[in-house]
């Protein structure tokens, strides 16, 4: 990714041609969210120095298994509660998250279908090739770290048309790895085995990565077909000799 300004990610006074200002209805974006905790980038700008606001929402679900893990991030995250009913934060409340912070449903009664929580989480993309995040799971009995994985969110598949917020791909890999291997869920200190993260399939992380890949592959195929048609290579041909007969 190329920087759009200084080392601090300076925002230019005049918009760059391919990064025009965009107005987005945050609540309309909720209708296209894919999971209980997916981070949906509001704007398609993920370049170095970019400020990246992400929408997240959680809904109370009957028989839902509450989750709790820790997220580690090189950059600060700002959390703004946009709307809620039964939320752990109130509408308009702002929180600056610590470098390592807990993550849960943000609902007082996560099994109450009337509960919901809509928030805006904003991060900034660093200038440079490295920006580390991590997922940490602790023992439910003694709080010892039993699983920890850190990853560079600047690394991931290059996308031609729609940029990918690579962090979500890594989150999905963490859940798959943690749930699959009982050894990774067993505390070395007290021997307690933590159960798999039951709701990880509903977080929306894997669905996002899959859909992002399909969107780019589909657009590529469409552009190639359009190019063939406009060049005449794919247009139907007319057999003049058959017409004369």
Measure the CA–CA gap between 187 and 183, rounded to whole angstroms: 8
Helices (DSSP H) in 98-193: which residue ranges? 167-180
Residue 60 resides in a domain? yes
Task: Give mean pLDDT, residues 47-64.
Answer: 94
**pLDDT tens per residue across span 189-212:** 999 999 999 999 999 999 999 999
pLDDT exceeds cutoff 80 at 107: yes
How many helices and strands, by DSSP H and E, does the chain display? 4, 9
pLDDT in tens, 13-36: 666 677 888 899 999 999 998 888
User: How many residues can be counted in the chain?
Assistant: 245
Residue 203 lies in a domain: yes
Question: At residue 7, does pLDDT exceed 70?
Answer: no
Checking if the pLDDT of 6 tops 60, the result is no
Task: Mean pLDDT check: name the lowest of 6-20, 47-61, 132-146, 171-185.
Answer: 6-20
pLDDT at 241 over 70: no
Mean per-residue pLDDT for 55-68? 92
Domain count, the chain: 1
DSSP at 201? G
Strands of 100-103's sheet in order across: 100-103, 69-73, 132-138, 145-152
Q: What is the pLDDT of residue 243?
A: 46
CATH number of the domain within which 157 lies: 2.60.120
Rounded to whole angstroms, the Cα distance separating 87 from 109 reads: 8
Q: Which helix (H) or strand (E) holds 228?
A: helix 205-231
DSSP string, 54-69: EEEEEE--TT-----E
Using a cut of 0.95, tell me whether the model's pTM lies above it.
Answer: no
* Residue 64 placed within a domain: yes
Domain contains 5: no
Assess if residue 206 is contained within a domain. Answer: yes
- The boundaries of the domain holding residue 116 are 26-233
Q: Cβ contacts of residue 206 below 8 Å, gap of 6+?
A: 172, 175, 176
pLDDT at 70 over 90: yes
**18 located within any domain:** no
pLDDT digit string, tens, across residues 161-186: 999 999 999 999 999 999 999 999 99
Q: Which of 31, 133, 151 has the alpha carbon at shortest distance from 77?
A: 133
Task: Give a yes or no: residue 240 inside a domain.
Answer: no
C-alpha distances out from residue 14 to 4, 28, 35, 46, 50, Å: 12, 28, 36, 18, 15
**What pLDDT, on the 0 to 100 scale, is given for residue 237?**
54
| Integer-rounded Cα radius of gyration of the chain | 22
Q: pLDDT band for 245, please (50, 70, 90 cuts).
A: very low
- Between 14 and 146, the higher pLDDT residue: 146
Q: Is residue 51 part of a domain?
A: yes
pLDDT of amino acid 4: 46
Please say if the pLDDT value at position 146 is more than 80: yes
- Give the H/E segment covering residue 49: none
Q: How high does pLDDT run on average in the chain?
A: 90
Q: What is the pLDDT of residue 9?
A: 52
Q: How far apart are CA 152 and CA 171, in angstroms?
A: 12
């Amino acid at each position: 990714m190329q920087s759009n300004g200084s080392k601090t990610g300076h925002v230019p006074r005049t918009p760059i041609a391919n990064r025009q200002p965009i107005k987005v209805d945050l609540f309309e974006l909720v209708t296209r969210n894919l999971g209980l905790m997916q981070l949906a980038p509001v704007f398609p700008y993920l370049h170095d120095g970019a400020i990246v606001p992400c929408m997240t929402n959680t809904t109370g679900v009957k028989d839902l298994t509450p989750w709790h893990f820790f997220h580690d991030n090189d950059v600060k995250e700002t959390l703004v509660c946009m709307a809620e009913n039964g939320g752990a934060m109130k509408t308009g409340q702002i929180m600056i998250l610590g470098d390592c912070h807990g993550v849960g449903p943000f609902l007082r009664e996560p099994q109450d279908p009337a509960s919901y929580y809509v928030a805006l989480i904003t991060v900034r993309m660093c200038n440079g090739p490295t920006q580390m995040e991590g997922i940490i799971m602790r023992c439910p009995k003694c709080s010892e770290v039993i699983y920890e994985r850190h990853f560079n969110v600047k690394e991931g598949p290059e996308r031609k048309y729609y940029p990918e917020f690579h962090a979500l791909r890594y989150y999905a890999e963490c859940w798959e790895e943690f749930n699959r291997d009982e050894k990774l869920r067993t505390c070395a200190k007290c021997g307690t085995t933590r159960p798999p993260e039951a709701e990880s399939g509903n977080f929306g992380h894997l669905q996002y990565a899959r859909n992002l890949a399909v969107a780019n592959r589909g657009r590529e195929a469409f552009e190639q077909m359009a190019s063939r048609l406009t060049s005449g290579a794919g247009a139907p041909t007319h057999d003049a000799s058959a017409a004369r007969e």
